[in-house]
Structure 1
């Protein structure tokens, strides 16, 4: 099944990230990181098919060496919170061979990234899933800083000085002229990202057409496509690896639940739309035939349908009574349902279906809200645990006067201390929380489980009820066909 995944993020020093380590991981190589003074060794990583660097002609040959390129990026970026690289994650298609996927990826990179002056480090992954669904994909890293045509690093931003309406410089409180920092490239603009996303979809779809494959991918979001579905949560490589090994995870369970509900919502929405369209056509035909008469009761059509079924049952050489008993049971179920719902006419039936369509929409909206909150809470719990894990270590560092002991504590807890500022920034600056309370967040997650289950039960009930509505729609359709021979021809 064709799928679309095109995600762009950034490698940020403020989060303790290293472009050298990121490149080593994606390429499955061993690289020396001069900035952090350590070795990033991912040579044991499996699933890396190939990795290559592509760049404009004016980029010096030395930058085609991965270790040299990313250490040069680390060196030229002086700020402790520097933005180092753009990182693309793009899903490849299982309908193509890995060689065809690589050719498509190279074409996209050359036409859309290198053509804009970007230096591209691309790695193709095809992890071994055993008997699972193949997940071929590419990772692309590009330095944020552009390179000049003379082979030297350029500027990320330029100053545009501000003037008033009379052309006089606008000064700040220190007497210096104010200015706006303007990016020197358009690589970070939302409209350019949109162009890239569309270009990838267009390229893949064109290859589908060339090969006579009916599948197509769409770069637009569900909302932009007019599809009212719940978005899945991002799992990440750690969760995916655990799931691939048969280890059930919370995110995996949540995504499986979302997939099942989305599938049901699509099915229910389509069925209700089909029934509404059919009812509208039936009402038009009835209006043509009986414009002057009162609209027949819905029960008349149902009775006519089952009377016809019983006539057919009378022709059976065997099983006549069993067929009639089944007809009687079905007939009673339908009539009782219509009476219980106060549905007497086709107009009533149409209004009732519209209400069901509204119920499906409301259920979907409610589940989307809960899904978003669940995702936010799980992220907060993760960062909260990082934050709490670092507290006793930070207290040890503050209370320790011995320099060697401090160095030992830092060395032994390097990963925890690197994650601490990330967690602190996200929780207090981005999430704007007053205090870290992981247990409270976990309690809120637990409190959402019951509403989830309740809404899932509603979904199952809606599914069962929609099936009965489809049956009733068929009975009415067949009854009108028997009294109006041109019905099927008119619908065609």
Structure 2
């Protein structure tokens, strides 16, 4: 089963240790200590499964080089009893795969960097050949000074003070990280950083036998101490059995209650699924009805509806601006930027004050710089300037990271709104296209109707002209006017015989019925066409006859 183990050690010169030797051993590498000239070569050491260096953003390039990093850590300390490094030793769950253990150890290393601003060296060791094969563990070596773009700076004192609660924090944090990793891996095992008492576990701790009792047991001699322990153990076993039976009974009841709850949950889920199907059906029918309504609209009405739907959509930018995660990230970025500006202003003000003090108090400044006296105002101004400058350097990467985080939250919210709008945008574009098609169809229909009306009007005019011309011919024939008598060339020769018969028949019709007879002829397309052809033939014959006369 997974076990909890987290131990915090220090690497101190007072114990004859060095950061370079510790780093070389844990990484299985060769490192030359530039301060002492010692060569620490552990390249033949086996069992190092993985190693990696982590440092805050903006750290110097050499922070990614193990020999240079730990030589820098040694060089930063001047006292012979200095603590040059600090180490976390953690037990990695054997239930995880090698990649999962590596990811977990590296995650813990990055968390140390984030909280303390130090450089961290993570080395994962395999179990020893003769030891417990489940003993996967990691050595996490960290600098005792914070790492900035300028290199190693101030000491991290929070881990030196046992009352600070930092070690308890990291015990709890490691427990949470390991349990999350086990959960992701689908494992049921968990670890707990608390003591048995804090966990509420009633268990008799094991008692260490001294050498005297151990020898008596080995020789088979009776021991009252052993007998008392065996009696206590028997009583404890009986108590455990009784408690186990009670627990089994409780578990049976709990199982029955669970089964009942599960059945009710299944019924509730089924009802929820039916309700969901009803809602989806209603939504589908609503969309179908809306689609039917929209398709029945005219092009102009549909275009107005499309504009209304577009205006009703939430724009991705507006959604992003209202997103709580973006608002929070934006506020954090602005706060950090403001803090950095204030630090920059404070640094500039203190530097100006220091320059003014030096210009105004030249002698005191010279005595101060010579070490003959202390110029307190100058010391304070320069110290505050350096402090403000250091704070500005620390805030710079955090402000940049916060700004990048705000942009990322904005783009995430914007993308979500784009995806949310996508179905409605597709629907809008579909109806916009339909509106264009309808507009074209309506234009074509108007053009067709206009042409049809023009054709009908033209046909009506021709009909009226045919009726007028025919009635004029019939009247001239009835009155035997010039050109319509029997001996007239226009009548006897140029007028087709069939037309003459129609005219004669028309004139024999009573006058009160003539209009009705003519209308019946004109209403019949076939008879109207025949009459029009005969009238046209007469006109052509007359025109041709007259052209001969003019020519003669």
**If the length of structure 2 is used for normalisation, what is the TM-score?**
0.40
Greater relative contact order structure (CA < 8 Å, 6+ sep):
1
Compare the two structures and name the one with the higher helix fraction.
2
TM-score normalised according to structure 1 size: 0.44
Query: Higher Cα Rg: structure 1 or 2?
Result: 2
